[in-house]
Chains A and B, each alone.
Chain A
Amino acid sequence: MNIRAKLTAKAYSAVNLAVAYATATTPKRIHPGWYVCRSLYGMRDAPSGPYFARAILTSHWRCALLMRYVLQLTRPQLRTFLEDNVSYEGAAYAQHVFNGQRPVILASPHYGPAQIGFIAAVHRMSGRRALNLFYDAEHPAASGLTLLFERGGIDTTTLLGGFSGVLAAIRALMQNEYLVMMPDAFDDIANTLAVPFFGRMMRVAAGTAFFALRTSAWVVPVVALPTRRLGVHVIVGRPIDPNRFAPLEESQAIFLLNRLLFASFEREIRRAPEHWRNWPLFPRISTGVEPPGRLEDDAPLRLLKDKCEVSPELVEDVPELEMLVK
């Protein structure tokens, strides 16, 4: 192993100490953890406080060092890392899906070292099929990502955005390849839908559900988090079968599939919230429901009635709502 990789591994083991020192000496206004806490200020059931701020900084540094470390490994070293330093949870649920004849979509939120998680999941389940990803090839991090997948021994195709990307993704799924999706990020909020997430209605990209329904691809939630010792813990969620929703109208099926997928993400994020990268955006891309927890506990129609009472112009704009709420 080269000296740089060894140094990165040493730095990884000293992250806790470094974070304690940095948190004590860094002003709150430039501390990434406190920045997230400030973004979530006023959201009643959101994580916050000094422990959360410290955990965020620890997560940022661990993920960055992990990524740097794996990029310094050779192909055999990366294989050894994936075998020795990666632990799995829930992989048994998904084994039949990976061994089956239907295409698979690996879906993950922007959480922890997600890229390493995808490689580990593919490596664990079967390394034979090709992987397709949507990402901007001109992004500074893109070259590192390509290199990482190459060294992981995975045949990777970069898909462009837009209509050609959609066609290429459907074609890849038709050929039983993997498609990697991160549905908690989007380019344009206009093309999103709202689903319940952490007690709020969050905007999410509909692409994952759309591809799954069009090609009958299994959707497998994959979440990766950095461990205390140099390594990754990969949680493979229970696969979602889109054929369950096939009898429904397409837009309702897309909503229900996304709801199920984000419920699975929420379960994992609640276990270790500090690894989710989208916390600063969360208040801006979601609508709150007061009091917290009401979205899960109360009847949707009662929530709708309250919403129409608060904004009477809604009923003026959409008179069809009156039949339901009056």
Chain B
Amino acid sequence: MVAELIRCVARARSIQQALALLESEHAHVFIVAPSTHGAFALARAVCRRRPCFVTSGPISSHPGLKLVAHGRAPADITKALACQSALSRSVISFPDQHVGSGSANMMIPFLGTRYCFSAFDALLVARHRPPVYALATRSGTCDFALHAVRYSELFTVDGRLLSLPGLLRRLLMYLEQELISPPQDWLAQDCFRLRSETVRWLRLREELKDVECLLRMHLQSRYCDRVRTETALAAIVARQRLFGRAASI
């Protein structure tokens, strides 16, 4: 109980300090934060002070966190802010819980291996160039601070972005440090695990097994185009071996 009380006091103080820092920033900001109780408390406080969008994901859309009114899917936020040179609202993003699909994702080096992240954060920053802050936990009592993230050197003089994955890595720099030893109140363990390259290879391998099963069943059908089915089957078996080997490395 005493530990919980200390945590509450530390969190309240951290929120006050973070709000004071944001007061000095007149433009709308982009905040990158891990999915922790402290970060959600800050998001609620910021939403009360200024107009905000919060990226909705499997955790932040939980009604108990009281962020549903401000929650938007990353794609909806991008659409709502399109054709604006500067952000018309502050945006709070929780990249450890976004589940992108296909080309909306980028694989970047993270925590000594490779993880898949949504390109949303990097795209938003590349388009609107807002002041960016990252939340980082400071101690075991889960107190935190906002750190400004500088990224201007990732653009050329004439304003072109040098590398989108490079920008994403810069934006997630504090998140990576945070997740080396995750804070006690981090809630996104399960979502985050699914985004590592190894887990993605394993999932793909299992998906290919299902396809193989369907193809082998189809091969028994009277109306089967044997040549095409056998070609697809051979390709599936070869990919399974490849992905299996990649996952075990």
User: How many residues on the B side are at the interface (Cβ–Cβ under 8 A)?
Assistant: 33
A181 CB → nearest B CB, Å: 20
A304 adjacent to B211 (CB under 8 Å)? yes
Q: Give the distance in Å from the alpha carbon of A277 to the alpha carbon of B209 in the complex.
A: 24
Known contacts A318-B235, A324-B225; is-contact A300 B217 (Cβ 8 Å): yes
A240 CB → nearest B CB, Å: 16
Tell me which residues across on chain A come within 8 A of B218, comparing CB atoms. 299-301, 304
Q: Give the distance in Å from the alpha carbon of A192 to the alpha carbon of B214 in the complex.
A: 15
**Hey, what's the 0/1 contact readout for B217-242 against A, CB within 8 Å counting as 1?**
11111000100110110111101000
Say what secondary structure dominates the interface of chain B. helix
- B216 interface contact, C-beta 8 A: yes
Tell me which residues across on chain A come within 8 A of B219, comparing CB atoms. 252
Tell me which residues across on chain B come within 8 A of A299, comparing CB atoms. 218, 221
- B205 interface contact, C-beta 8 A: yes
Say what secondary structure dominates the interface of chain A. helix
Tell me which residues across on chain A come within 8 A of B235, comparing CB atoms. 318-321
- A255 interface contact, C-beta 8 A: yes
A298 CB → nearest B CB, Å: 10
Q: Give the distance in Å from the alpha carbon of A48 to the alpha carbon of B17 in the complex.
A: 53
Q: Give the distance in Å from the alpha carbon of A324 to the alpha carbon of B215 in the complex.
A: 10
A193 adjacent to B212 (CB under 8 Å)? yes
B228 adjacent to A323 (CB under 8 Å)? yes
A317 adjacent to B239 (CB under 8 Å)? yes
A300 adjacent to B215 (CB under 8 Å)? yes
A321 adjacent to B217 (CB under 8 Å)? no
B239 adjacent to A323 (CB under 8 Å)? no
Q: Give the distance in Å from the alpha carbon of A316 to the alpha carbon of B206 in the complex.
A: 16
- A203 interface contact, C-beta 8 A: yes
Q: Give the distance in Å from the alpha carbon of A314 to the alpha carbon of B225 in the complex.
A: 20
A195 adjacent to B239 (CB under 8 Å)? no
A190 adjacent to B220 (CB under 8 Å)? no
- B213 interface contact, C-beta 8 A: yes
- A269 interface contact, C-beta 8 A: no
Interface residues on A, range: 20 to 34
Tell me which residues across on chain B come within 8 A of A316, comparing CB atoms. 102
Tell me which residues across on chain A come within 8 A of B213, comparing CB atoms. 193-196, 201, 255
**Hey, what's the 0/1 contact readout for A290-305 against B, CB within 8 Å counting as 1?**
0000000001110110
A323 adjacent to B204 (CB under 8 Å)? no
Tell me which residues across on chain B come within 8 A of A9, comparing CB atoms. none
Tell me which residues across on chain A come within 8 A of B239, comparing CB atoms. 317-318
- B23 interface contact, C-beta 8 A: no
Q: Give the distance in Å from the alpha carbon of A323 to the alpha carbon of B207 in the complex.
A: 19
Q: Which chain A residues (155-202) contact chain B, with CB distance < 8 Å?
A: 189-190, 192-196, 201
Tell me which residues across on chain A come within 8 A of B205, comparing CB atoms. 190
Q: Which 7 pairs between the two chains have the least Cβ-Cβ distance?
A: A320-B235, A194-B213, A300-B217, A300-B218, A194-B209, A300-B214, A320-B232
- Add 17 more A-B contacts to A201-B210, A255-B213, A304-B214 (CB < 8 A): A190-B205, A190-B244, A190-B247, A193-B209, A201-B213, A300-B218, A301-B214, A301-B218, A304-B211, A304-B218, A312-B102, A317-B204, A317-B239, A320-B231, A321-B235, A323-B232, A324-B228
* Contacts A/B (CB < 8 Å), 10 sampled: A189-B206, A190-B244, A251-B237, A303-B214, A304-B214, A307-B210, A312-B102, A320-B231, A324-B229, A324-B232
Question: Hey, which bits of chain B sit against chain A, CB under 8 A?
Answer: 101-102, 204-221, 225, 228-229, 231-232, 234-237, 239, 244, 247-248
